[in-house]
Amino acid sequence: MKLFYCDCKVYDIIIIEGDCMNLEEKNEVKAWYDNPRFITNIVTVLLFGILVYSQSISSRSNLVGWDLFRNIMNVNLLYVIILLYFVLIRFKVGKKYFNYLNLFLILLYFFVTMTSFLSIISSFNIVLFLRFLISIILLLQMFHTFLRGTISWKEFRLERSPFNEIKAGSYFTMVFVLSTLDLVINLITSGEFSGVVLTLFISLYYIFFSRYVYLYSNYLDSIDKDKDNKGNFDEVREKIVVNINESINGEKIDKIVDSTKDKIDDFVDNTRDKLDDMIDNMAEKIEETEKTEEVSDEEVTVVKKKKKKKKKKTTDNGGEE
């Protein structure tokens, strides 16, 4: 039994509802936040708003011409690319290469996450840290959603990824909470109204973009595309328990103790040999010093005797005169 009236592809349900709606949901009215087409339109409007508002802020600076355009592109290149993504998926070419566009989006957010991490290292900031966390969550959410139903999912055995234990709704909730926290912090710390408005646009973009990915995940569940996925957290837990039990039984502890004892014995033996060598060297130097002092004393005694003889001889010669 077909779930849809027409033979629409995986990505068509996100863009087009109409005749491709599910038979059971056709007569139901969806909430606006569960409407894929509405969410897609909101994300597109938010991206456009971010670019326009950023341009208005940059135009107030002293930059003009090419420098102004280059500054806008450097700051908002990510949003330009994502806006292009949402524009393309509305047309036939975007629907045809939908999976490739999703793969490109995953790679794009991978580089964004790496850039955010480097920014935190260079200068730590709570806002940068929050956006770094948001980027990680979005990357994981896209990776475990957009690759479902593709060859890569089974080829790399992603159905056993531990992150599959995190539900799609949990990803959205984490992004929602972090984006709201980011907005609140910027409202407190920002001294300019323009900065607050831009932050509002960006926070809403994070939330609705995560919602878009969440709805696509729900759609894949509805058509049973790699739906039954189990993470391997249980295997990791079992390995940890086994290691703990082995340690408790003494198997690993005995090995560690024996190894440590051997290292200590080797260290003591090496230290003893070095001390013996040092003592022998010191004894040899002391003997050499004593011999040198004895020779010096003998030489001094001989010199004194010669001086006395010479003095006596001189005195005798003087007496004769």
User: Does pLDDT of 119 surpass 70?
Assistant: yes
- The pLDDT, as a whole number, for residue 125 is 87
- Same-domain status, 200 and 302: no
Question: In b/e form, how buried is each residue of 269-284, taking b as 16+ CB within 10 angstroms?
Answer: eeeeeeeeeeeeeeee
- Same-domain status, 231 and 263: no
- Same-domain status, 127 and 267: no
- How far is it, in rounded angstroms, from Cα 154 to Cα 299? 96
- How far is it, in rounded angstroms, from Cα 34 to Cα 196? 28
Are 181 and 206 within 8 A, CB to CB?
no
Of 218, 247, 276, which closes a domain? 247
Of 214, 247, 280, which closes a domain? 247
Indicate the pLDDT class of residue 193, thresholds 50, 70 and 90.
confident
Among 78-87, 144-153, 309-318, the range of highest mean pLDDT? 78-87
- How far is it, in rounded angstroms, from Cα 120 to Cα 127? 10
Residues 141-173 pLDDT 10s = 999 999 987 888 888 778 788 888 888 899 999
Q: What percent of the chain has pLDDT over 70?
A: 60
Residues with Cβ within 8 Å of 265's Cβ and at least 6 positions away in sequence, in order, are none
- The pLDDT, as a whole number, for residue 92 is 92
- Same-domain status, 17 and 147: no
- Same-domain status, 49 and 11: no
Q: Region 1-15: what's the mean pLDDT?
A: 39
If one counts every other C-beta atom within 10 angstroms of the C-beta of residue 236, the result is 11
Of 196, 215, 247, which closes a domain? 247
Are 201 and 46 within 8 A, CB to CB?
yes
The crossing angle, in degrees rounded to 10, of helices 193-222 and 126-146 is 20
* Burial grade of 132 (CB within 10 A; 0-12, 13-18, 19 or more): buried
Among 221-225, 259-263, 310-314, the range of highest mean pLDDT? 221-225
Residues with Cβ within 8 Å of 267's Cβ and at least 6 positions away in sequence, in order, are none
Counted domains in the chain:
3
Indicate the pLDDT class of residue 316, thresholds 50, 70 and 90.
low
- Same-domain status, 130 and 260: no
Indicate the pLDDT class of residue 69, thresholds 50, 70 and 90.
low
Expressed as residue numbers, the domain containing 199 is: 34-247
- Same-domain status, 200 and 292: no
- The pLDDT, as a whole number, for residue 13 is 43
Are 58 and 48 within 8 A, CB to CB?
no
Q: Region 59-86: what's the mean pLDDT?
A: 72
- How far is it, in rounded angstroms, from Cα 280 to Cα 284? 6
Task: Name the DSSP class of 4.
Answer: S
Indicate the pLDDT class of residue 72, thresholds 50, 70 and 90.
low
Residues 120-146 pLDDT 10s = 898 888 989 999 999 999 999 999 999
- Same-domain status, 194 and 289: no
- The pLDDT, as a whole number, for residue 217 is 92
- Same-domain status, 129 and 259: no
Q: Region 42-55: what's the mean pLDDT?
A: 90
- Same-domain status, 112 and 210: yes
The DSSP code sequence of 87-137 is HHTTSHHHHHTHHHHHHHHHHHHHHHHHHHHHHHHHS--HHHHHHHHHHHH
- Same-domain status, 63 and 210: yes
- Same-domain status, 171 and 307: no
User: Does pLDDT of 300 surpass 70?
Assistant: no
- The pLDDT, as a whole number, for residue 2 is 34
